[in-house]
Chains A and B, each alone.
Chain A
Amino acid sequence: EVQLVESGGGLVKPGGSLRLSCAASGFTFSSYSMNWVRQAPGKGLEWVSSISGDSIYIYYADSVKGRFTISRDNAKNSVYLEMYSLRAEDTAFYYCTRVVKPAAYWFHPWGQGTPVTVSS
């Protein structure tokens, strides 16, 4: 069974940093692109970042470009999101997702999410 388990969320002050992790299991991790999608409280879904299986292709939403860094460790079956210079508007539930098939950026499955709150 494919599983994605996020961790690392929490409360951080504006301007602070946080590192989210996503542990994957149940599939050949290196074959699939991985993604982060977030959802602010009471709002819709926002794509944040994607990374290809070999880490060659990396994409960011304009809202996080220059502040967030996505990476992966295929030996550890994990993907990470390092978040810097956090702002109140980064407050959201952050979901780790796989693509449904290699290089097709449809999100399936999803982890349970980890909450990030940016507040003083």
Chain B
Amino acid sequence: EIVLTQSPATLSLSPGERATLSCRASESVDIYLAWYQQKLGQAPRLLIYDGSTTATGISARFSGSGSGTDFTLTISSLEPEDFAVYYCQQRRKWPLTFGGGTKVEIK
């Protein structure tokens, strides 16, 4: 199966700062990678799919980039509501797999 490795595990930043989250795949997933946000006690929410396509209703401060094995989620300027856990997911091959998550916490 394709293993997704997210780094860092925890990112400590202040509101207004730029966040850069990484997801690395064990083999190429082409552009078939998505990013989700999960706040405490809530279901995950789709942010980005196909590597860089922003999902409906998602703020423009979220952007995705990358292809092949290396992907990045960037939050241009952190708002208080952005402190959460972020997961990547691939759909290049079955089984579908998620990364272990990056927690973005308030510094």
Contacts and interface: CB of A to CB of B under 8 A. Distances in A.
Secondary structure at chain A's binding surface: helix, strand, loop or mixed?
strand
Contacts, number: 58
B55 A44 contact: no
Secondary structure at chain B's binding surface: helix, strand, loop or mixed?
loop
A46 B100 CA distance: 10
Interface in B7-45: 34, 36, 38, 43-45
A108 B87 contact: no
Contact of B87 (A44, A61, A62): A44
Contacts of A95: 43-44
Interface residues of B, number: 22
Interface string A32-76: 000001000000111100100000000101100000000000000
B95 A47 contact: yes
B34 A59 contact: no
A107 interface: yes
Contacts of B55: 100, 108
Interface residues of A, number: 21
A47 B2 CA distance: 13
A112 interface: yes
Give 6 closest A-B pairs by Cβ, nearest first.
A108-B46, A110-B43, A106-B49, A47-B96, A105-B91, A45-B98
Interface of B: 1, 34, 36, 38, 43-46, 49-50, 55, 87, 89, 91, 94-101
Interface of A: 37, 44-47, 50, 59, 61-62, 95, 100, 104-113
